[in-house]
Amino acid sequence: MSLLDPSFEVNPWPYIIQISIAGLFMMFIFAAFNLYTQTALIAALASSAFVAFTIPQSHATDPRPMFGGYLVAMFIGILFSMAYHSPMVVNAIDNGLPLFFDKLGFAVSGQSFAAFFAFLAFMTSAFTMAATDTEHAPAVGVAVGLVINIWDIKTLIFILLGITFLTLSKKVFENRMIDLI
């Protein structure tokens, strides 16, 4: 039994070329984005680049799921981020809501609330993508990342530019690529 994919053993060039294109895209992302504060968002784009260049014939890498999935995730991530950082939630966390849950036997902290809002963003974005035929699994990470990371309008613009550039790059090379998986 070989460790290598039999298709790779026969013709390694599509693997080398397609992964190199994905790598060049990610080199741009790594150089342009703040690696230390936007890890979840960078990971989502890295996952999208991997999917786009390893299974280019998949529906998940068509423009509707790639771009649409990111739009859905961004919209939902923004909503849940705003809810999590809203004065009502901040006030509840600061004024004893964790103590209330402690009395019920639940250990609750500010991180617990962040986890809860990240969970809501995950569930809502996954459901919405499935219902609107914009399923792009890596994009769900954007919804979660916008809840757990500090972000600004530049972050949103960068994500949109990144997924737009990735979608267009994949489309340009699509007829020259094969599914590697």
Q: Is residue 110 part of a domain?
A: yes
User: Does 36 have pLDDT greater than 70?
Assistant: no
Q: Is residue 30 part of a domain?
A: yes
CA–CA separation, 26 and 18 (whole Å): 13
- Matching residue, tokens 């026969």: 10
Q: Is residue 36 part of a domain?
A: yes
CA–CA separation, 101 and 92 (whole Å): 12
CA–CA separation, 80 and 163 (whole Å): 21
DSSP secondary structure letters along 97-157: HHHHHHHTT----HHHHHHHHHHHHHHHHHHHHHHHT---HHHHHHHHHHHHS---HHHHH
Percent of all residues in the chain with a pLDDT value above 90, rounded to a whole number: 64
Q: Is residue 26 part of a domain?
A: yes
Q: Which domain holds residue 80?
A: 11-172
Which of these ranges, 22-31, 45-54, 62-71, 103-112, has the smallest mean pLDDT?
103-112
Q: Is residue 180 part of a domain?
A: no
Q: pLDDT tens digits for 152-168?
A: 898 899 899 999 999 99
Q: Is residue 1 part of a domain?
A: no
User: Does 45 have pLDDT greater than 60?
Assistant: yes
What's the pLDDT score for residue 32? 80
CA–CA separation, 161 and 16 (whole Å): 26
State the DSSP H helix or E strand holding residue 69, giving kind and residue range, or none if neither. helix 63-84
User: Does 60 have pLDDT greater than 90?
Assistant: yes
What's the pLDDT score for residue 13? 96
Q: pLDDT tens digits for 75-130?
A: 999 999 999 888 776 666 666 555 555 555 555 555 677 888 999 999 999 999 99
Q: Is residue 109 part of a domain?
A: yes
CA–CA separation, 117 and 123 (whole Å): 10
Question: How big is the chain, counted in residues?
Answer: 181
Amino acid present at 148? I
What's the pLDDT score for residue 93? 60
Q: How many domains does the chain have?
A: 1
Q: Is residue 2 part of a domain?
A: no
CA–CA separation, 79 and 77 (whole Å): 5
Work out the average pLDDT over 54-79.
Answer: 96
What is the rounded average pLDDT for all residues in the chain?
A: 87
- Matching residue, tokens 């209330």: 100
